[in-house]
Amino acid sequence: MSARQPRFNQHLLIDTTPLPSSIPSVPEIGSSSAPLLSASYFIGARCKPYNDDFMQCKTDANGTGETDCLREGRKVTRCAASVLEDVNKSCLEEFRQHWSCLDDNNQQLWQCRRWERPLNKCVFEKLNIEKKIPGAPENEVQVHLRKRQIFAHSMTTQ
């Protein structure tokens, strides 16, 4: 909380006072990095307006963003939670395989294309969300759709 993080060599001090009840509470995501990375493009596709609202609010707030943009932040969290919940309901096995592969491979997406393809296919069919990388050159195939990943460690995981 202070400008320099204090380092206590014997104990960890966490203030566990909850938020006052005047601020509505929202169930936190509670996900680790691999499932979030796996679902990041789906979250981005579905939650684009909420994300843009939140970032615009933070930019415009001019210093008081943390306290003024709590409402937009709740909307962002709820939308991402809905994406994760939908993916868990419809594509749980493919999702789990993909993020387990990411956990084993240093969160490198190009090592796990073999499990990413069925996940993308399942999400596209059931939830109608497509993974698309904005800003990529239009005349080339997008890197997650290429047959051969140059930097993957083995041919079996591509």
Partner 1 sequence: MPQDMPPTGGYEPVQYRRNLPVRGFRPAYYLVALGAVMTYGFWRFGQGIREKNELAREKMWSRIYLTPLLQAEEDRDLVRRTLAAGKMERELMGGETKVYNSDRFVRPTYAVTPANVTK
Residues forming contacts to partner 1 in the complex (CB under 8 A) are: 1-3, 6, 11-13, 15, 17-20, 23, 26, 28-29, 36-37, 40-41, 43-44, 47, 50-51, 54-55, 58, 62-67, 69-70, 72-74, 76-77, 80, 109-110, 133-136, 140, 142-144, 146, 149-151
- Strands in the chain per DSSP E: none
Nearer to partner 1, 110 or 124 (CB): 110
**In angstroms, how far is CA 52 from the centroid of its own chain?**
15
Nearer to partner 1, 20 or 128 (CB): 20
DSSP state, residue 45: H
What's the min distance (Å) between Cβ of 86 and partner 1?
16
What's the min distance (Å) between Cβ of 76 and partner 1?
5
Nearest-angstrom CA–CA distance, 45 and 98: 19
Nearest-angstrom CA–CA distance, 41 and 38: 8
> What's the sign of the alpha-carbon dihedral 41, 45, 50, 56?
positive
